[in-house]
Amino acid sequence: MSHITVDQIEQARKRIASTIHPTPVVPSDTLSALCDTSVYLKLEHQQRTGSFKLRGATNAVLSLSEDERARGVVGVSTGNHGRGLAYAARQNGVKCIICMSNLVPQNKIDGIRAQGAEVRIIGQSQDDAQIEVDRLVAEEGMTMIPPFDHPDIIAGQGTVGLESAEAVPELQMALVQVSGGGLISGVAAALRSRIPGIHIIGVSMERGAAMHTCLKAGKPIFVEEKATLADSLGGGIGLDNAYTFPMTRDLVDEIVLVSETEIAQAIRHAYWKESQIIEGSGAVTLAALLSDKVRPTGPALALLSGGNIDMSLHHRIISGENVDVTEQD
User: Domains of the chain, with CATH numbers?
Assistant: 6-50+150-328 (3.40.50.1100), 54-144 (3.40.50.1100)
Question: Which residue positions in the chain have pLDDT lower than 70?
Answer: 1, 328-329
Q: What is the pLDDT of residue 161?
A: 98
C-alpha 58/C-alpha 204 separation (Å) is 25
Number of helices (H), then strands (E), belonging to the chain: the values are: 14, 10
Q: What is the pLDDT of residue 108?
A: 87
Q: What is the pLDDT of residue 297?
A: 96
Other residues' Cβ atoms within 10 Å of the Cβ of residue 224 = 12
Q: What is the pLDDT of residue 93?
A: 96
Q: What is the pLDDT of residue 328?
A: 55
Q: What is the pLDDT of residue 4?
A: 96
Q: What is the pLDDT of residue 1?
A: 56
